[in-house]
Amino acid sequence: MVKSQGRFARIYKKLHKWPGLIISFLLLYYSITGIFMNHREFFSKIDVSRNNLPKEFRYHNWNNGAVKSNLNINADSILIFGNIGVWLTDSTFTGYSSFNNGFPKGSDNRKIFDLHQSSDGNLYCATQFGLFSFDRARSQWSKFDLDVDIKRFVAIESIEDTLYVLNRSYLFKGKSKGINSVFQKIELKQPHDYNNEVSLFETMWQIHSGEIFGIPGKLFVDFLGVITLFLSLTGIIYFFFPRWIKIRKNKSKTVASIVKTNRWSLKWHNKTGAWLFVCLIVLFFTGMFLRPPLLIAIAYSKVNPIKFSHLDQPNPWYDKLRDLKYDENRNEFLLGTSEGIYSMDKDKLAPEAFRIQPPVSVMGINVLENFNDGAYIIGSFSGLFLWHPAHSEIYNLAKGKMYVGNSTGRPIGDFKVTGLITDLKGIQYMIDYDKGAVPLYHHKLFPEMPNNVLEESKMSLWNLSLEIHTGRFFRFMLGNFYILLVPLSGLVSVMVVLSGYLLWRKRFRKPKTR
């Protein structure tokens, strides 16, 4: 029995020691970037120059989500917008001047989802952290003070003098009066097929971030991030210090303070890990499924919301609304959501799901535009498609052929579409995340990004943290194998935490006295 226990202890030690050393260095940056990501608005004013990053993260040909769309103002004035903010350009897309006055400092505060000009000439802007109107008297953007807990606004439409604005959970309706506009907050009616389910992906995401239990949950996950940082550092100390102590002893040098630090590190490494090992396993396990390839297994699964959690909401559309487009011919709205695309009467505001749905990535819809004869252009990380709600056939605009379905189950397609540009002549450019501006059925190249746009368009600390946290940052080193970094790191972390706890029970925990 004793031999068996000793054999298990040796196995636990091997599983904990060497994998733990390797994963500790990775967990250092996971901990720090995770905390940054959990407080996006707080860190939103901090940017990093793209010139200091690998070439994959520098803008070239309007890639990396630089632009989402454009708004044609008149014959020689076009506003182009996206992650770069808002810029005024001419009909040839060559000369650019910043149109970002009034937005708070920081690239994240200039992340634009929609730009709209109402019939009275007023400009409105939907951003990551709020809804803005352009104050023509002061020539700057002015933010509306609206009652929202999710500040991201995603779409703006107008019918005559009435504005319809969408954030991730509610519709806001009001008369267009520029900065003096007043909005009514409207909860959309639940659809006929509503069954109060949420995506497993969103559940995993919110558990991993702690958002599932609101601010207290996020702060607890921040605490786990600090604990992970502490366990990594104390583990590294305990791995290297004994040899350092031995070397110093052989040279007759003092080792008292080093020995004390080593003992303290081991003591609190064991205690902290034993107290919180279950929470750490949940943290690492849920993180494994938030990136491909394990994301594929949960991408389209639905579960009941956890009771009394942030996902258990009375609003059936809470954090599910993604885009809005008014169709004059049908006299109704198209509503893009995480559950699919719906039609919605402008008066009843009761969404009804289309029977035939276009392919949209789990990452969300990025393009929703009217086409001709009742058809629409739909774009996401699944590609760019021409879709008619009444026709079963869907045309793949990016590939120039009929869509035949996704047989691989991958949440992304061959084209990761982030936007669509349409010039004054109707010539269009598909905006691909990797390739940038791609001519759509013509051969005229889109002008390169000018230096003044490049100089002002930095990467937010949040986005940099996301790239590091998801492993994409290391693509320049690992190539396409970077995709395995998150699942393997999560798997090894779970193994290290579990083996460490079992080793502590076998070797360090004091037996209870009877």
Dihedral of CA 212/343/322/287: which sign? Answer: positive
Rounded-to-10 torsion of CA 30, 33, 38, 44 = -170
What averages of pLDDT result for each successive group of 10 residues across the chain (514 residues)?
A: 69 92 95 98 97 95 97 96 98 97 98 98 98 98 96 98 98 98 97 90 97 97 98 96 92 91 95 97 97 89 94 96 96 96 95 96 94 95 96 95 78 91 96 97 96 97 97 92 95 97 81 54
Paired tokens of 407 = 């047989």
Instruction: Look at residue 407 in the predicted model and tell me its pLDDT.
Output: 61
- For 223-236, give the DSSP string: HHHHHHHHHHHHHH
CA dist 331 and 188 (Å) reads: 18
Instruction: Look at residue 134 in the predicted model and tell me its pLDDT.
Output: 98
Q: Of 374, 323, 336, 388, which Cα lies nearest the Cα of 126? A: 323
- Residue 75 has a CB neighbour count (10 Å cut-off) of 9
Query: Using N-to-C axis directions, what is the helix angle for 214-250 and 2-37, rounded to 10°?
Result: 120
**Residue 293 CB-density burial (10 A; 0-12 exposed, 13-18 middle, 19+ buried):** middle
Parallel/antiparallel/unpaired status of strands 162-167 and 171-175: antiparallel
Instruction: Look at residue 278 in the predicted model and tell me its pLDDT.
Output: 98
Please write the tens of the pLDDT for every residue from 72-96: 999 999 999 999 999 999 999 999 9
Instruction: Look at residue 76 in the predicted model and tell me its pLDDT.
Output: 92
Class for the domain spanning 59-195+310-460: mainly beta
Name the residue type at position 378.
I
Q: What is the CA radius of gyration of the chain?
A: 26
Where do the domains of the chain lie?
A: 2-45+199-309+479-507, 59-195+310-460
Instruction: Look at residue 508 in the predicted model and tell me its pLDDT.
Output: 67
CA distances to 145, 351, 494 from 173, in Å: 14, 16, 48
Q: Of 328, 408, 397, 407, which Cα lies nearest the Cα of 367? A: 397
